[in-house]
Chain A
Amino acid sequence: QQQVKQSPQSLIVQKGGISIINCAYENTAFDYFPWYQQFPGKGPALLIAIRPDVSEKKEGRFTISFNKSAKQFSLHIMDSQPGDSATYFCAASKYNNDMRFGAGTRLTVKP
């Protein structure tokens, strides 16, 4: 039962470009929406997270946009760099830390 849908599955961006990854969720009980970055052989690392009472959050080159009525949120990576090449996962979590992940987006940033 997929509760968080993520797109695209893969993304290729030129260095300096903007990477955009989208997610949609179904369960309105979710109240915490993190994005994780994962490199091969490593565990996921938190990038940025948002709660539904905020429509946007920015940390450095990373921005989350959140649309509560549409049940959608997205990650924007500005000035994408080759070091950003990784798999990105959106997730949604309920109060008891039951976190559901999107399928992941493999980002490749070309030099």
Chain B
Amino acid sequence: KAGVTQTPRYLIKTRGQQVTLSCSPISGHRSVSWYQQTPGQGLQFLFEYFSETQRNKGNFPGRFSGRQFSNSRSEMNVSTLELGDSALYLCASSSAGNRADTQYFGPGTRLTVL
């Protein structure tokens, strides 16, 4: 099985712009979670989607949003970019529905905001 894929791998944007990141989960996985990783804050949970519904959301401002499509692919959008949004954005997929289970991570998208 192919692993979790994320596109693009690298992105450079300027303050005030918006960005959309894409994640394709492992085939058959219906849960997709997004995380932000920075040297200062570590790995932080953004949100999780299951069957096109956002089930849970971390403590991030409304500028961070996401969605999931019927094929389980997910996108994450960040509007009005700030310098502090520079980070590695990781997507993870899981087959679990109503029980926590293994999450498999993609390689991440490195976002740099100038």
Q: Which residues of A contact B (CB under 8 A)?
A: 1, 30-32, 34, 36, 41-46, 49, 89, 91, 93-104
Contacts and interface: CB of A to CB of B under 8 A. Distances in A.
20 contacts: A1-B59, A34-B103, A43-B107, A44-B43, A44-B105, A46-B103, A89-B42, A91-B43, A93-B100, A96-B55, A96-B100, A97-B94, A97-B100, A97-B101, A99-B33, A99-B92, A100-B45, A101-B42, A102-B42, A104-B42
B43 A101 contact: yes
Contacts, number: 74
B50 A96 contact: yes
Interface in B30-86: 31, 33, 35, 42-45, 48, 50, 55-56, 58-59
B41 to A, nearest CB: 9
Nearest to A31: B100
Contact of A34 (B44, B58, B102): B102
Interface of B: 4, 31, 33, 35, 42-45, 48, 50, 55-56, 58-59, 90, 92, 94, 96, 98-108
